[in-house]
Chain A
């Protein structure tokens, strides 16, 4: 079950922290990560709206896992360049994506899931 409110809350928290920092520091990573978070939010919202078309659902999950990879990488890059505390929220989103892997595998089967869930999240979830 997707707890969309909690996910959106985490996204908003990240956004406000990053925006606050952007006002005092010109760091392109802080600008870029906002786009990633916004995009994640919109895909989570679509997934949570119980899409009936399985192809569309696959599309959104595929993007979400790829964004999960990017979010994690960018959070590390930001952490290495400036002190911004978004790691808790990033880890929460990652954890949610890990939790959803079993649901994705159940819906799409193992073979299809290989193309939806990125290797990183397959490994983190200990899927196979």
Chain B
């Protein structure tokens, strides 16, 4: 069994006297999803301790993870809802806040129909919350204008997986770090942004002499620690990858049997990259020819290679094309679906993966396609609503939503757990646009966006609510509630349920559209929805997740404890066909 060399329990607890208890949970900061315990005293969070038995981190925590609980105790947290009166946000009670929210929603629906509403949310909520958003916005409000900040984050990773494999789902896993001969970091400064993962990589290098290649426009710390560092000009990732693939083909570092049996479009790829000689690539990218050749040689001649990618690819020019080329590079070498090999598209935020899985934004739950009549029918049956009532076709991207708000088409804009006044491009313009509709903001703090709102709904934070998330390797894990939220604040989940109840959303039998009352009940409904889909979680339970330290989907009758790697079957069938 491969894994960390050793465990090390990181902790950050600040209290006088002994703590009352440690509550099992998982870190909520980044996509690594490290196991931890929340330290509690007098119903307050007073610290965090790494979970020594958790497979992802073996007790380690990143610096942000160690300090996240300070936010729970911040004196800046909102205590009550706020409603704007005569230009000023004033404290209000929950009854008035819910009444206003429902009144304004109904008003917008009456005047403009579902097109008069827009919902913009996050990559940091819980799976059960995203699932509820999906159900309310589609089967309840029947709206198209739904998006999340994941659009600005890892939507590229999702689309590249769809383009290459027909479905979302990163093929590799964290354990591959220990098996790989070469790890390529593409646009991913792990040293500073995912310290626990980076430590695992350094551990593997110490033990196995794993080579690290960094491809990044910036000369950051990770670059300086790499065995080989390529610094392309900004916006030239596609040329870099075309150049590497050109050399792989030219030197016959490819797997012909795998290409023949499991891929399409190889000849087109070969034609496309034919002109990307090291000389031509140097002209475009400024990468010296020798370095590109060495990089291709390490990738091509190593038995096992893992390519990790993140925002340096996702948020650059021709992002989806570059990200898809990483998949193609692995496919033509047949280096996928086996220990130590595969493209590993990381997520940035802790639950961007959950959002994608349950259809919080973009697709229908379980990676079901908005444009596929069969999938729409399935969802109608699963939710017990008329097929005709479910919205068909793509959801509206945030850029388009903002344009529609600007044009006066959208009357109510509901923002949940994200801060577009800071994160959207063209900030000054966006701030002016957000002043136009009735703006609802759900946030624990008075963020820059909340300051613009007409209605602010404060919420519970991590440790004050229960639910699940999925990390960057498809591992679904449980985050337990450790303390009661201060000021009796509701969770995002509870706000959504209350809204659904007050809007009186019904299924086709006249029963409440949402019948579950707890996150666990919501998860159980989602499990049934996920059955038979790529992200099948039908054999998961909260208890099992806690017992196993998270479970990687698919998890079903065939894989009761989850599955580490995707596309293993194609690998096995290639071996049977005489592959190397």
A76 to B402, CA, bound (A): 12
Question: Is A73 at the interface (CB under 8 A from chain B)?
Answer: yes
Whether, in the assembled complex, B393 has its beta carbon less than 8 Å from a beta carbon of chain A, the answer is yes
Please tell me if A118 contacts chain B, counting CB pairs below 8 Å: yes
Separation of A119 and B388 alpha carbons in the complex (Å): 14
* Chain A contacts for B373, CB-based, 8 A: 115
Chain B residues near A76 (CB, 8 Å)?
Answer: 403
Residue A28 interfacial (CB < 8 Å): yes
**Tally of A-B Cβ pairs under 8 angstroms:** 28
Check if B399 sits within 8 Å of A73, measured CB to CB: yes
A side interface size, CB within 8 A: 15
A123 CB contact (under 8 Å) in B115, B392, B399, B403: B115
- The answer to whether residues A115 and B426 also contact, given A73-B400, A123-B115 and a CB cut-off of 8 A, is no
Cβ-based interface call for B391 (8 A): yes
Chain A interface SS verdict (over half): helix
- Map CB proximity to B onto A101-128 as digits: 1 under 8 Å, 0 otherwise: 0000000000100110111101100000
Contact indicator B403/A118 (Cβ below 8 Å): no
The residue on B at minimum CB distance from A114 is B392
Whether the Cβ atoms of B391 and A119 lie closer than 8 Å is yes
A119 in contact with B399 (CB, 8 Å)? no
Q: Determine if A119 and B144 form an interchain contact, defined as CB atoms under 8 angstroms apart.
A: yes
Is B371 at the interface (CB under 8 A from chain A)? yes
B480 to chain A, nearest CB (A): 39
Docked pose: A117 CA to B394 CA in angstroms: 11
Nearest CB on A from B392, distance (A): 4
Interface residues contributed by chain B, number (CB under 8 Å): 16
* Interface contact A118-B394, CB-CB below 8 Å: yes
A28 touches B388 (CB 8 A): no
The answer to whether A119 touches B317 (Cβ under 8 A) is no
Q: Does B231 sit within 8 A of A, measured CB to CB? A: no
Complex Cα distance A119/B401, Å? 13
Q: Is the CB of B396 within 8 A of A119?
A: yes
Q: Cβ of A119 and Cβ of B394 under 8 Å apart?
A: yes
Is B392 in contact with A115, judged by CB distance below 8 angstroms?
Answer: yes
For the complex formed, measure the closest distance between the CB of A121 and the CB atoms of chain B, giving whole angstroms: 9
Contacts of B426 in A (CB 8 A): 80
**B115–chain A nearest beta-carbon distance, Å:** 5
Complex contacts, A111 vs chain B, CB 8 Å: 388
Chain B residues numbered 377-436 whose CB sits less than 8 Å from any CB in chain A = 388, 391-394, 396-397, 399-400, 403, 426
Alpha-carbon distance A114/B394, docked complex (angstroms) = 11
Residues of A within 8 A of B394 (CB): 69, 118-119
Instruction: List chain A residues, Cβ under 8 A from B317.
Output: 28
Q: Chain A: which residue is nearest B395 at the CB level?
A: A119
Contact residues in A for B391 (Cβ distance below 8 Å): 119
**For A114, A119, A123, which residue has the most chain B Cβ atoms within 10 angstroms?**
A119
Q: Which residue of chain A has its CB nearest to the CB of B387?
A: A111
Tell me how far the C-beta of A125 lies from the nearest C-beta in chain B, rounded to whole angstroms.
12
What is the CA–CA distance of A69 and B400 in the complex, to the nearest angstrom?
10
Minimal beta-carbon separation of A66 from chain B (angstroms):
8
Most buried by A among B392, B396, B399: B392
Complex Cα distance, B393 from A120, in Å, reads 9
B-contact bits for A27-54, CB 8 A (1 contact / 0 none) = 0100000000000000000000000000
4 additional A-B pairs beyond A111-B388, A117-B393, A120-B396, beta carbons within 8 Å, are: A69-B394, A73-B397, A73-B399, A114-B392
Can you report 5 residue pairs joining A to B where beta carbons are below 8 Å apart?
Answer: A73-B399, A111-B388, A117-B393, A118-B394, A120-B396
